[in-house]
Structure 1
Amino acid sequence: MKMIMAIFKPFKLDDVRDALTSLGIQGLTVSEVKGFGRQKGQTEIYRGAEYAVSFLPKVKIEVVIDDALVERAVETIRKAAGTGKIGDGKIFVTSIEQAIRIRTGESGTEAL
């Protein structure tokens, strides 16, 4: 099992969710986060005053899937979340040792 964590622009969330659902992925966790990368934030104007926004709003999704789906899921997220501009985000893939469904006690891929 692998966990895919992707951080991307908030307005792309529905596109990513729909694309992952079409792959047969049934559940994911979504968090609203803030951060910056190479773009180092941005400058905005509010009521005539210019100020720097150091941390930009992003969305982080986490999904645990079977090893067989990892490459397809990563490519699907990359295509759905991409805009071709700076600040599109990152995808991280990590190994998961064990998963247990609390309600039934199922473990491994059956718990997904």
Structure 2
Amino acid sequence: MYLIRSIIRPEKVNEVLSELLSAGFPAVTKMDVYGRGKQKGIRIGDVTYDEIPKEMLLMVVKDEDKDDAIKIIMKYARTGANGNYGDGKIFVSPVEEAYTISTKTKEL
């Protein structure tokens, strides 16, 4: 299993979630987050915004589904034909174990 953490623009969240659901990925955790990437924030006039609002999507997928989930996020979180700075980032980590609390069962 893999944990996929994607940080994307807020205006792209509904589209990404809809496409993930359509592709058979219903289980996603969504969080409001703030931060900055390589662009070091946004400067508008004399004001610099270094805490830019984003959304973080967390999902655990089976090994064989990892690439499909990443492709969906990449396709629908991207802005413009060639993408733009601030479109986001995807982080993938292995998950060693997972448990369902209500049933006390270990997930495979």
Q: How does the TM-score come out when normalised to structure 1?
A: 0.88
Q: Does 1:57 align with 2:56?
A: no
Q: Where does structure 1 lack aligned partners over 5 or more consecutive residues?
A: none
Q: Which residue, out of 66, 70, 74, partners 2:70? A: 74
The equivalent of 1:86 in structure 2 is 85
The equivalent of 2:19 in structure 1 is 19
- Per-residue Cα deviation, 1:50-87 (whole angstroms, up to 9, x for no partner): 42111111100100011110000000000010011111
Distance 1:18 1:59 in 2: 15
Distance 2:26 2:53 in 1: 26
**Larger radius of gyration, structure 1 or 2?**
1
Q: Identity rate of aligned residues, in percent?
A: 35
Q: Tell me the CA shift for residue 93 of structure 1.
A: 0.7
Distance 2:76 2:8 in 1: 10
Q: Where does structure 2 lack aligned partners over 5 or more consecutive residues?
A: none
Q: Tell me the CA shift for residue 38 of structure 1.
A: 1.6
Distance 1:93 1:52 in 2: 31
The equivalent of 2:40 in structure 1 is 40
- How big is the alpha-carbon RMSD for the aligned residues of Structure 1 and Structure 2? 1.1
